[in-house]
Amino acid sequence: MRLVLASNNAKKLAELRALLAGLPLEIVTQGELGIVEAEEPHHTFVENALAKARHAARACGGAAIADDSGLCVNALGGSPGVISAHYAGEVDVIAGEDREARRRRQDALNNALLLERLQGAADRRAHFISTLVALRHADDPEPLIAVGRWPGEVLDSPRGNGGFGYDPLMMIPELGATVAELDADRKNRFSHRARSAAALREQLVQVWRLA
């Protein structure tokens, strides 16, 4: 079964392929099919994930999957939340710059703003959240919805060179490391997306009868 991922994020594609490995699925990005990215105007992760999945499903005429994820910080009332990827506002486009270089500039600004807004905060608790939605077709009345949360604490300064986004600031106490210090295998076993993917896998088997 082909499942179109409503994203062009290569790392997200690799993660989902690994997490859903063993199921009879061919996961491809919407970009491979020439599908443009959907608008994400909503205030909740589940609404944005549904919007993205429906957009991709309608464009491809088949099944689609979408993930909406981010960081929620207790002391900031859940922010950055759904605007985690562009918390500091979208960076300007630089001619000739590739997608990954632009993302790194964006990440740096987002992290700096987060630290600025947490200055003096005693409560550093936060969690990554991943909401996965899968649809058999654009008008599927029974979307599969799975949510995974990965609790941790925001550090005062970054640690580690791996991952992306807020990974260098997010300490996972039970692992004694930031997300950016974890190798791909450990991240795939413990992450918010690992948790939502595990819940989604169960639904894919039980509801869609994939095995």
pTM assigned to the model: 0.91
Digit-coded pLDDT (tens) for 154-209 = 999 999 998 889 999 999 999 999 999 999 888 888 999 999 999 999 999 999 99
Q: Where are the domains of the chain?
A: 2-206
- The 10s digit of each residue's pLDDT in 90-105 is 888 888 888 888 888 9
What is the tens place of the pLDDT at every residue in 35-55? 999 989 999 999 999 999 999
205-210 long-range Cβ contacts below 8 angstroms, 24+ apart: 205/23, 207/142, 207/144, 208/134, 208/136, 208/144, 210/1, 210/23, 210/24, 210/25
| Mean pLDDT in residue range 127-155 | 98
pLDDT tier, 12 (very low <50, low <70, confident <90, very high otherwise) = confident
Thinking of the domain 2-206, which architecture would CATH place it in?
A: Alpha-Beta Complex (3.90)
Among all residues, which ones are annotated catalytic?
68
Distance CA 13, CA 115 (A): 29
Average pLDDT, the chain: 94
Torsion angle, CA of 17/18/19/23, rounded to 10 degrees? 60
